[in-house]
């Protein structure tokens, strides 16, 4: 990131009067702030790193930004150098930029992302876990135990998709399918390919195969994507299926209209999941000009991206549960085994460009199953907006990730009512008092109006009377 890009990001943050997920302000009039190591650790785990700006003070309560400047440039850089070289678990190599903002001198320090194999990057005097932080929105927070374990498991030393596909051989791979990959790649470079050139060295370079303890075998990514026959035919891969269900109503207690367990190679699973969803959502027709145009209730592109991401970013170490697609009368839910990759949060998911399965992502991208890195989530947001539907909801837990696409019925909710609905998705019950905590300065009368509207829409129902009244979802 060059000096001009950094200055532009800083000026934009000042204009909006807030730090961002990639910008942290520090008042450096008293020297290097003691908490600087927290931001260094947090940005070292953020995809793409981040910028610590010394000489700007943020007052979060007043929602104000003050450019204070600094006249301690030498001292700051010396102490920062000592901190990143001697007190962090991995030696960070920041870049320093002296900038002029509002006629005052500031120091902008770009902290690069730490290589995967050295994560977590923590403050040695505090140790693990207290010295490891993560960027969450516009703040630094201590990494949870689950995030810590997830980070360690997902370091490059433990990338599961490049491990051996046990009890398989190179003969289990389809050369015709690999040729399809080479042909598609060759079109971009005007290079012709043939079956004859497919040898072990090529497969190794593509991450499709490797040498494991002296034996040449497919990697997990290679076998799941390029197997001759369905990978699930082998017992150890039998759980890698997609369980799809269409329910008549808005909850799992209603009748099942359609269901299907989808197996096959990963590209085939994406295609079949997409087809299942499309055949189980409503379709209407409208006249555009002189032509009759059919339109699904959800945008096809958004569905495609959500489905593809579920396959590409699944945690394949987890075999106790399936990837699931549940279609209700008012929403689509895609549930995946494994939480978000390290450094990716709900807040930065649109910007993060990280994959748990780098080889799976790269090969499926070359097969045209993945948009350019970083664009997929943007497509989902943009397409939902075009359809006048609410943005997708993301739910991340310690061992699962869920995406919810809300249909027309739920898109009639206002911002408060969506938050009530989200709260119910997580907690299964809510009281008016909890809503008052969620919405500061919102009257009880307004909250009661929200509950009534949602009851009229048959999204929730009341339980109990008087002070003991609470609300439960109808899903």
The reported pTM is: 0.69
Q: What is the pLDDT of residues 400-443, one digit of tens each?
A: 889 999 999 888 999 899 889 888 877 889 998 888 888 888 89
Residues 284, 270: Cα–Cα separation, whole Å: 24
- Of 290-304, 346-360, 447-461, the one with minimum mean pLDDT is 346-360
pLDDT for the residue numbered 308: 92
Q: Which numeric CATH code is attached to 242-407?
A: 3.30.565.60
Query: Is pLDDT above 90 for 466?
Result: no
Task: Please state the rounded mean pLDDT for residues 88-98.
Answer: 91
pLDDT for the residue numbered 159: 77
For the record, the structure tokens of 126 come out as: 């505090």
Query: Which residues are registered as beta bridge partners of 325?
Result: 244, 334
Cα–Cα distance list, 116 to 41, 93, 200 (Å): 13, 15, 27
- Give the torsion through C-alpha atoms of 223, 224, 229, 233, to 10 deg: 110
3-158 carries CATH number 3.30.830.10: no
Q: What CATH class has 413-473?
A: mainly alpha
For the record, the structure tokens of 264 come out as: 């096959």
Q: Where are the domains of the chain?
A: 3-158, 163-231, 242-407, 413-473
pLDDT for the residue numbered 238: 93
Query: Is pLDDT above 80 for 199?
Result: yes
Query: Is pLDDT above 70 for 181?
Result: yes
């Amino acid at each position: 990131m060059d000096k001009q890009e950094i200055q532009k990001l800083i000026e934009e943050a000042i204009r909006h009067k807030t730090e961002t997920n990639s910008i942290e302000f520090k008042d450096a009039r008293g020297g290097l702030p003691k908490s600087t190591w927290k931001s260094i650790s947090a940005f070292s785990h953020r995809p793409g790193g981040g910028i610590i700006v010394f000489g700007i003070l943020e007052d979060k309560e007043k929602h104000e930004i003050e450019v204070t400047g600094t006249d301690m440039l030498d001292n700051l850089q010396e102490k920062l150098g000592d901190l990143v070289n001697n007190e962090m678990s991995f030696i960070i190599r920041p870049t320093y930029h002296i900038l002029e903002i509002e006629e005052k001198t500031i120091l902008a320090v770009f902290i690069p992302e730490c290589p995967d194999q050295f994560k977590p990057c923590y403050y040695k005097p505090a140790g693990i876990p207290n010295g490891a932080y993560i960027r969450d929105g516009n703040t630094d927070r201590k990494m949870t135990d689950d995030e810590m374990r997830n980070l360690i498991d997902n370091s490059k030393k433990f990338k599961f998709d490049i491990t051996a596909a046990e009890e398989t051989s190179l003969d289990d791979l389809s050369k015709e399918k690999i040729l399809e990959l080479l042909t598609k790649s060759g079109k971009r470079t005007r290079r012709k390919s043939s079956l004859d050139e497919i040898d072990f060295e090529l497969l190794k370079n593509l991450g499709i195969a490797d040498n494991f303890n002296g034996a040449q075998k497919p990697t997990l990514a290679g076998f799941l994507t390029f197997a001759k026959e369905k990978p699930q035919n082998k017992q150890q891969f039998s759980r890698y299926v997609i369980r799809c269900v269409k329910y008549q109503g808005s909850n799992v207690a209603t009748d099942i209209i359609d269901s299907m367990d989808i197996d096959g190679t990963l590209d085939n699973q994406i295609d079949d999941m997409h087809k299942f969803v499309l055949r189980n959502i409503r379709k209407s027709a409208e006249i555009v000009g002189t032509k009759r145009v059919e339109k699904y209730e959800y945008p096809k592109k958004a569905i495609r991206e959500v489905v593809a991401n579920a396959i590409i970013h699944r945690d394949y170490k987890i075999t106790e549960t399936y990837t699931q697609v549940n279609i209700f009368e008012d929403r689509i839910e895609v549930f995946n085994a494994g939480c978000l990759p390290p450094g990716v949060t709900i807040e930065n998911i649109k910007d993060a460009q990280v994959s748990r399965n780098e080889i799976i992502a790269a090969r499926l991208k070359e097969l045209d199953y993945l948009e350019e890195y970083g664009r997929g989530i943007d497509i989902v947001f943009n397409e939902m907006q075009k359809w006048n539907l609410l943005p997708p909801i993301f739910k991340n837990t310690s061992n699962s990730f869920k995406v919810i696409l809300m249909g027309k019925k739920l898109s009639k909710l206002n911002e408060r009512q969506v938050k009530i609905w989200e709260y119910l998705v997580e907690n299964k019950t809510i009281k008016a008092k909890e809503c008052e905590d969620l919405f500061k300065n919102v009257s009880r009368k307004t909250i009661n109006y929200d509950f009534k509207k949602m009851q009229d829409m048959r999204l929730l129902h009341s339980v109990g009377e008087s002070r003991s009244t609470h609300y439960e979802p109808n899903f």
